[in-house]
């Protein structure tokens, strides 16, 4: 019996490289883009198998749902991007329940900067990077498009000297305003509609005397942080062009979240579009063909 299992295991190991050889792209696993708390932060990089078909542009895919993040099993929607010549960077961020949204945002800034610092290696233009994701991944995409961080020219790490600005955003059903969630004045910082997603909203600070991590409980301080992690807060005329695809029957992230930020983009003359999927909820078959819609947006705004 042992020998039978051994044969099966060997067969699986030898089949994996063969399967990879048949994939219509190259995949580089577990590229380390940063480190924190003794841990490595990674991304998987997918590129056209034929370098001649690469268009010199990159798409950052935020691997995130409910601010959970884990190594992607496959390329998913990124296949459409690779088909058009894009290099796809599937970024895994520090996941809840261990890490909060402000910490996750730091990871995304680091990932964008790392890609820019290594743009020549991956054959992409650092000024032609788009970002995409769904739900929490859409939220992170919009934060990157609306609230990038400048680099610090004096930082010892050359990666941190670069800006985390991206050139275009395309995403699915993103939260955009945690203080007005579904309706004005409705707070959803891990409560109400988002009560099942509390850990990423357990914002913390260190006690000055003991260095202990202490969760911030004060409602007004929590709202102040909630405002800062809401993409709508940061919209300016310099925000990246943004496409949002959203179902009008979404009970988890109300379509109102897309509508209010689209209105804000228009107020600031930022190119934007809201594509509504009638009767669609939070994900599902209604969005099955929308990787092409995202790719069309990037084709237009990553010229």
Cis bond upstream, residue 97 (ω within 30): yes
Segment 188-197 mean pLDDT: 95
- Whether the predicted pLDDT of 11 surpasses 80: no
- Whether the predicted pLDDT of 8 surpasses 80: no
Kindly tell me the sign of the dihedral angle through the C-alpha atoms of 18, 21, 27, 28: positive
Residue the block writes with tokens 């850990």: 199
- Whether the predicted pLDDT of 197 surpasses 80: yes
* Mean of pLDDT over the chain: 93
pLDDT band at 17 (very low <50, low <70, confident <90, very high): low
Q: What is the pLDDT of residue 277?
A: 97
pLDDT band at 18 (very low <50, low <70, confident <90, very high): low
Task: Report the distance separating Cα 225 and Cα 216, nearest Å.
Answer: 10
Q: Which residues 6+ apart lie within 8 Å of 26 measured at CB?
A: 46, 47, 48, 49
Q: What is the pLDDT of residue 19?
A: 55
Token pair of 69, please? 């993040």
Residue 281, burial from CB neighbour count under 10 angstroms (0-12, 13-18, 19+): middle
Residue the block writes with tokens 């990246």: 240
Q: What is the pLDDT of residue 207?
A: 86
Where do the domains of the chain lie? 24-176+233-301
Segment 26-47 mean pLDDT: 97
Task: Report the distance separating Cα 209 and Cα 121, nearest Å.
Answer: 46
- Kindly report the pTM of this predicted structure: 0.91
Task: Report the distance separating Cα 211 and Cα 47, nearest Å.
Answer: 44
- Whether the predicted pLDDT of 203 surpasses 60: yes
Q: What is the pLDDT of residue 5?
A: 35
Residue 267, burial from CB neighbour count under 10 angstroms (0-12, 13-18, 19+): exposed
Q: What is the pLDDT of residue 119?
A: 98
Segment 105-111 mean pLDDT: 98
Which pLDDT tens digit goes with each residue over 232-269?
999 999 999 999 999 999 999 999 999 999 999 999 99
Phi and psi at residue 34, to the nearest 5°: 180, 175
Q: What is the pLDDT of residue 303?
A: 86
Q: What is the pLDDT of residue 22?
A: 74
Q: What is the pLDDT of residue 24?
A: 84
CATH numeric code, 24-176+233-301: 3.40.50.1820
Q: What percent of the chain has a predicted confidence (pLDDT) above 70?
A: 93
Task: Report the distance separating Cα 48 and Cα 23, nearest Å.
Answer: 10
Q: Supply the Cα-derived Rg of the chain in whole angstroms.
A: 20
- Whether the predicted pLDDT of 21 surpasses 90: no
- Whether the predicted pLDDT of 191 surpasses 90: yes
Token pair of 120, please? 């020549």
CA atoms within 13 A on the CB side of 240: 31
CA atoms within 13 A on the CB side of 33: 30
Task: Report the distance separating Cα 26 and Cα 8, nearest Å.
Answer: 26
Q: What is the pLDDT of residue 128?
A: 98
Q: What is the pLDDT of residue 4?
A: 41
Segment 66-75 mean pLDDT: 95
Q: What percent of the chain has a predicted confidence (pLDDT) above 90?
A: 88
């Amino acid at each position: 019996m042992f020998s039978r299992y051994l044969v099966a295991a060997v067969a699986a190991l030898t089949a994996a490289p063969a399967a990879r050889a048949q994939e219509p792209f190259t995949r580089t696993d577990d590229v380390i883009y940063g480190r924190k708390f003794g841990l490595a932060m990674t991304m998987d990089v997918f590129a056209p198998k034929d370098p001649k078909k690469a268009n010199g542009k990159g798409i950052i895919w935020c691997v995130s749902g409910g601010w959970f993040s884990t190594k992607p099993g496959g390329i998913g929607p990124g296949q459409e991007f690779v088909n058009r010549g894009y290099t796809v960077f599937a970024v895994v961020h520090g996941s809840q329940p261990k890490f909060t949204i402000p910490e996750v945002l730091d990871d995304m800034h680091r990932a964008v900067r790392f890609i820019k610092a290594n743009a020549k290696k991956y054959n992409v233009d650092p000024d032609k990077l788009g970002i995409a994701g769904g739900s929490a991944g859409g939220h992170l995409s919009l934060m990157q498009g609306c609230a990038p961080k400048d680099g610090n020219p004096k930082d010892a790490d050359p990666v941190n000297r670069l800006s985390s600005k991206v050139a275009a955003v395309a995403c699915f059903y993103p939260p955009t305003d945690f203080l007005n969630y579904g309706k004005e004045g409705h707070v959803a910082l891990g409560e109400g509609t988002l009560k099942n997603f509390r850990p990423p909203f357990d914002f913390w600070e260190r006690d000055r005397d003991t260095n202990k991590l202490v969760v911030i409980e004060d409602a007004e301080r929590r709202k102040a942080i909630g405002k800062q992690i809401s993409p709508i807060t940061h919209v300016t005329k310099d925000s990246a062009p943004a496409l949002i695809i959203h179902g009008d029957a979404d009970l988890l992230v109300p379509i109102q979240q897309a509508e209010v930020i689209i209105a804000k983009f228009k107020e600031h003359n930022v190119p934007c579009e809201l594509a509504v999927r009638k009767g669609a909820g939070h994900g599902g078959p209604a969005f099955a063909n929308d990787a092409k819609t995202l790719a069309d947006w990037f084709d237009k705004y990553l010229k």
